[in-house]
Each structure stands twice: as C-alpha cells, then as structure tokens.
C-alpha cells in the first residue's frame, strides 16, 4: 500500500515539498491558511485542499510541515497526537523544551519524527562522509562553513536561525558529537533586534574546531564547507556544477628541521550522482514510514542542532562562551522510571511507569518496557522486545531479538532460593532465543534454553530446554504442537494460516521450514 502524505504549508519552501511528494506519488492533500496558496497547489497537483483539522482526521500516513518556525511545535505536536508520522522543516522548534517534548511524544506514540536538514541528504555530503569514514582525510582537525547571500531578509528570525541549522547539522554529522563550548559574534544592520551576520565557533572534546559564517548581506552567493584533516582536505561547494561540487585535496604537512612545511598535491574531483537532494530527503521520509526505521535527521538530531542554536544565541547576547552540559537521550524513560548509570539502552526504546533498569544491563533498540518492570543487573535484552507489566529479568537472563514477555511472567535465577542464604554465585543462564512468546503468569526455571519462535502458554512452568517452534502448556510444561514464525498454531498440514509458510518434521523430530522451490530445506 502506498504511503500518503499531506503537506502543511505551500509557500516559499513548501511548494517544493508539494512538488516532490507529488512526483513520488505520495501527495494526498495540501493545507495552508492562505487560501490562494492552497488552491493553487491543489489545482496544479490535482489533490484536495484541506483544513488542518481535516488533515489530522484524514487517513494520511504522514504530514510534512513547512509553516513559519514559530508554528512548528504546535503543528508537529497536534500531528503526532493524531497518529501521523511527521516531517517538520528546520528548526524543529524555537525552544529546546518544546523540541524535547516532541521527541518524547514521538516515542510514546511510536511515530516517525524527522527534521528537514536538507544537506544531510545531498550526494556530495554523503560522499564526503564516506571519504572521512575511509580515512582519506585522516583525523579531523578543523571544519568551517560559509553560507552567504544577499537576502532573503526575515523579520521573524535572525540569520543564525535561518541559515546556520544546515551547517550545524552537517558539522555534527561529521564530528559525531556535541561541542563542549559555543561562542558566537555578529552584527545587526537592517533591524536593531535581528542579526544579519554571525560567526559561530564550536570546540569539540576530540580536538576538532569548527566555525560557521552566515550572512544575508553579502555581494554574492556562497555555500561552501571545508574539512581539514591531518592527511588531506576536502571542499563541498554547492555553488559549483555537479562535477565540481566535491573536491579532495590530498595536501599534507611535513616537518623539516622542526618547522611545518606544506606538501601540496593535485586536486582530485569526486564523481557524484546528479540527484535532487530534496527528492532524496522526501523519499527517505517515505522509506522510514514504510520500514519503521529511524531517519538520519530524526527528532534527536534536530534537538542537538537546536541546542547549538540556542547556545549561540545566548553567546550573541552575553558576548560570552557557552558551555554545553545537556545530553539528549536516544530513548524514552517515563519520569517515574529509573535507568541506572552504566546501562546501555538502545534508540527508540520506551521505558514506562515505575520500571527500573539496573546497572550493567543492555537493552536493544525499539523495545517496549511496560510498567513496574525490573531488569538487571547485567541482564541482556535484544532489539524489538516487548516486556509487559510486572516482569523481572534477573542477572543471567538473555533475551534475543523480538521476544515477547507477557504480564507477570516469572524468571527464576536459582533452583532452591532461601531468603537468608546468599546464592548470587549460583545464578544460572536462561537463554531465550529470537521470536519467543511467553504467556502471562508463565514461569521459566533458570538454566534452560527456549528455542527460537517457541510459544509458552499462559501459566505454564518451563523446567527443561524447549525446541524451536514448540507450543508448550501446563505444569510442568509439555509440548502439544508447533507454531509458525508468526506465532500461529500449525495444523496437520503444517502450513501457517497467516503467512502461508510450509513446514515439515525432520528425522530429529524438529520443525523445519520448506523453501519455496522445495529443493532445499532450512531449520526453522
């Protein structure tokens, strides 16, 4: 089924988004408070013009917000609450607190939140990241960017907030961390309250320094990013033709008699695919919705850029260096829940009311941890696991990817516990393989292994190793049949009623899946 998108805002930049989503076959409707703009887009692309209320009540999968920056927070919040995936143009919001709320809300409602940092999707920037990853430039030392032009002058935001987000996003993407300090200078010429020119300096813990020069009072247009490493240099100049946009300068510095000497080398042009960055960005949003994947410029990335912008703004007014101390968590943790220091919790995971993740525990990506859950210390939970209310995972419990733990199911850690006898040195490993479902109130005795995609019925007590795909019920649990990868009970024909997969029992009395061509078989 094709993903359907509504674009909110059809003006200066929104019209480009409308065009691209139409060309991608995803445009379902448009919306703008200026009726003339909405009507023109509606007629040109043959889609209905809707009010915001109608968009949020419609069946569209996602909304794209290209409204004025001061409206981004409210529109994104309403869209997420309506169950829509959201692509909001930069900046994510004008306040860090609001941006954090949007990130938390996106995790709560399990919807994509993407920020329009366009240059992250430029083929030249992607190739530049590859050059750095391959070591062509060596260790990064210095980055600077110029984003200069004459106009377009704005009254609602200064040049820092209008131009610099693109460059901040690219620099953070190359360095891979937030800077320790931010210092910005600038000047107001056209409006005494709005800066027309700013220079922002960033200093990173790993020794990299960067500066960003932006101006809309410049005699010519320039969009250039320069990256300097200890083994080479690169220039991304978006104002040049495609075959000249990215150049590699393999210059190196040599030392002679204790003095540095430039070792110049011939410039190397880097070939690029001629693709519209905005179309790539729009396609990425559609892919993230369809694949349930995390955008390259997700809400957390937008929040990091916002932290730099706010620090730079503070520096402009105070004329002081601002030290960054705040950190952005890649996961959601309810205010009543607790994650100890030393835990490793993956991106997109949600931890709900009164749960506690103890030190040393490792939680994968996109997990859902219900209420009153205790994990650890040193427990391991794979990606995409769902652990419902009132479950405790002790040290020694290992859940592979996609395990479902029903409410109040129990994992033991020793065979003969006594309240007054310390037996932590007797903890045994309980290994739950990928795709296993454990029903409500079931008990898993420690030291056993649950085979992949097995299903443990509600209230069952597992006292021995379980075969993959086995259906287990009772106390002690006994096998009464087989289940498919999708968790469906298999009949005598051993065909999954949901997915149509076909199985057979092999000579070892294990369930195996039959491949489509029936010429080879694999263990399920």
pLDDT for residue 328 is more than 70:
no
pLDDT for residue 523 is more than 50:
no
Q: Is residue 407 part of a domain?
A: no
Tokens found for residue 344: 């490793």
Strands of the sheet with 5-8, listed across from one edge: 27-31, 5-8, 62-65, 85-89, 113-116
Q: Is residue 441 part of a domain?
A: no
Q: Is residue 415 part of a domain?
A: no
Pairing between β-strand 181-187 and β-strand 461-462 as defined by DSSP bridges: unpaired
pLDDT of 326 = 53
Q: How many domains does the chain have?
A: 2
Q: Is residue 313 part of a domain?
A: no
- Domain end: 249, 277, 305, which one? 277
pLDDT for residue 325 is more than 90:
no
- Tell me which residue range forms the domain holding 224: 120-277
Q: Is residue 409 part of a domain?
A: no
pLDDT for residue 39 is more than 80:
yes
The answer to whether residues 235 and 167 belong to one domain is yes
pLDDT of 460 = 97
- Beta-strand ranges (E) seen in 35-192 are 62-65, 85-89, 113-116, 140-150, 181-187
DSSP structure string for 194-250 = B-SEEEEEEE-TTS-EEEEEEESEEEEEEEEEEEEESS-EEEEETTS-GGGSEEEE-
pLDDT tens digit sequence for 426-461: 789 999 999 999 999 999 999 999 999 999 999 999
The answer to whether residues 146 and 263 belong to one domain is yes
pLDDT for residue 125 is more than 80:
yes
Tell me which H or E stretch contains 288: helix 277-291
Dihedral through CA 157, CA 163, CA 168, CA 174, nearest 10? Answer: 160
The answer to whether residues 30 and 141 belong to one domain is no
CATH code (residue 78)? 3.40.50.720
Q: Is residue 356 part of a domain?
A: no
Q: Is residue 141 part of a domain?
A: yes
CATH code (residue 223)? 3.30.360.10
The answer to whether residues 100 and 135 belong to one domain is no
Q: How many CB atoms lie within 10 A of CB 46?
A: 8
DSSP code of residue 69? G
Residue 231, sorted as left (phi over 0), alpha (psi -120 to 50) or beta, turns out to be alpha
**Cα four-point dihedral sign 103, 31, 118, 164:** negative
Pairing between β-strand 217-229 and β-strand 181-187 as defined by DSSP bridges: unpaired
pLDDT for residue 294 is more than 90:
no
pLDDT for residue 521 is more than 70:
no
- Domain end: 111, 135, 159, which one? 111
The answer to whether residues 159 and 232 belong to one domain is yes
First-residue to last-residue Cα distance in the chain: 29
DSSP code of residue 347? T
pLDDT for residue 24 is more than 70:
yes
Q: Directed axis angle between helix 96-109 and helix 72-81, to 10°?
A: 10
Q: How far apart are CA 137 and CA 131, in angstroms?
A: 7
For residue 190, give the 3-state DSSP assignment. coil
Q: How far apart are CA 210 and CA 38, in angstroms?
A: 41
Radius of gyration of the chain (CA): 28
* % pLDDT > 70, the chain: 97
The answer to whether residues 141 and 101 belong to one domain is no
- Domain end: 251, 277, 303, which one? 277
**Cα four-point dihedral sign 97, 103, 108, 109:** positive
The answer to whether residues 262 and 153 belong to one domain is yes
DSSP structure string for 412-481 = -S-SS--TTS--GGG---EEE-TT-EE-TT-EE-TT-EEPTT-EEPTT-EE-S-B-TTEEEETTTTEEEE
Q: How many CB atoms lie within 10 A of CB 291?
A: 9
Q: How far apart are CA 323 and CA 205, in angstroms?
A: 12
DSSP code of residue 519? S
Segment 204-224 shows an average pLDDT of 93
Q: Is residue 337 part of a domain?
A: no
Tell me which H or E stretch contains 160: helix 159-175
pLDDT tens digit sequence for 242-283: 989 999 988 777 777 777 777 777 888 888 888 999 999 999
The answer to whether residues 125 and 101 belong to one domain is no
């Amino acid at each position: 089924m094709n993903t359907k998108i509504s674009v909110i805002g059809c003006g200066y930049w929104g019209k480009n988004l409308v065009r691209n989503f139409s060309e991608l076959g995803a445009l379902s409707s448009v919306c703008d408070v200026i009726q003339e703009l909405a009507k023109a887009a509606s007629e040109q692309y043959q889609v209905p013009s809707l009010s915001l209320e109608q968009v949020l009540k419609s069946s569209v999968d996602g909304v794209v917000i290209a409204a004025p920056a001061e409206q981004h927070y409210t529109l994104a919040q309403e869209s997420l609450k309506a169950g829509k995936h959201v692509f909001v143009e930069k900046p994510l919001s004008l306040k860090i607190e609001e941006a954090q709320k949007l990130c938390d809300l996106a995790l709560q409602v399990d919807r994509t939140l993407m920020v329009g940092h366009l240059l992250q999707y430029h083929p030249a920037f992607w190739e530049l990241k590859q050059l750095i990853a391959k070591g062509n430039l060596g260790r990064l030392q210095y980055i600077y960017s110029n984003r200069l032009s004459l106009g377009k002058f704005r009254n609602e935001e200064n040049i820092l907030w209008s131009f610099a987000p693109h460059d901040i996003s690219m620099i953070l993407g190359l360095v891979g961390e937030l800077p320790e300090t931010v210092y910005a200078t600038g000047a107001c010429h056209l409006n005494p309250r709005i800066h027309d020119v700013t220079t922002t300096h960033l200093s990173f813990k790993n020794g990299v320094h960067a500066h960003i020069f932006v101006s809309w009072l410049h005699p010519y247009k320039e969009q250039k990013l320069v990256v300097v490493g200890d083994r080479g240099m690169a220039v991304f100049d978006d104002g040049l033709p495609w075959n000249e946009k990215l150049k590699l300068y393999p210059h190196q510095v040599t030392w002679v008699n204790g003095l540095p000497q430039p070792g110049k080398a011939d410039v190397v042009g880097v070939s690029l695919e001629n693709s519209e960055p905005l179309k790539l960005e729009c396609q990425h949003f559609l892919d993230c919705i369809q694949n349930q994947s995390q955008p390259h410029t997700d809400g957390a990335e937008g929040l990091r850029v916002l932290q730099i912008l706010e620090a730079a703004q503070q520096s402009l007014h105070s004329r002081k260096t601002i030290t960054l101390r705040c950190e952005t968590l890649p996961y959601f943790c309810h205010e009543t829940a607790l994650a100890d220091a030393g835990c490793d919790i993956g991106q997109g995971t949600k931890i709900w009311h009164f749960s506690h993740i103890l030190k040393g525990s490792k939680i994968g990506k996109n997990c859902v941890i219900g209420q009153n859950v205790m994990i650890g210390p040193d427990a391991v939970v794979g990606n995409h696991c769902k652990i419902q209310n009132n479950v405790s995972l002790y040290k020694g419990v290992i859940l592979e990817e996609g395990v479902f733990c029903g409410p109040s199911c129990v994992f033991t850690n020793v065979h003969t516990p006594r309240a007054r006898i310390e037996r932590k040195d007797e903890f045994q490993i309980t290994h739950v393989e990928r795709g296993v479902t454990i029903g409500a109130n079931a008990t898993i005795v420690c030291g056993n292994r649950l085979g992949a995609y097995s299903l443990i019925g509600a209230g069952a007590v597992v006292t021995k190793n379980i075969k993959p795909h086995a259906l287990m019920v009772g106390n002690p649990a006994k096998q009464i049949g087989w289940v498919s990868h999708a968790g469906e009970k298999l009949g005598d024909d051993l065909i999954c009623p949901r997915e149509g997969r076909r199985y057979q029992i092999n000579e070892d009395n294990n369930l195996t899946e039959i491949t489509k061509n029936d010429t080879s078989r694999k263990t399920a």
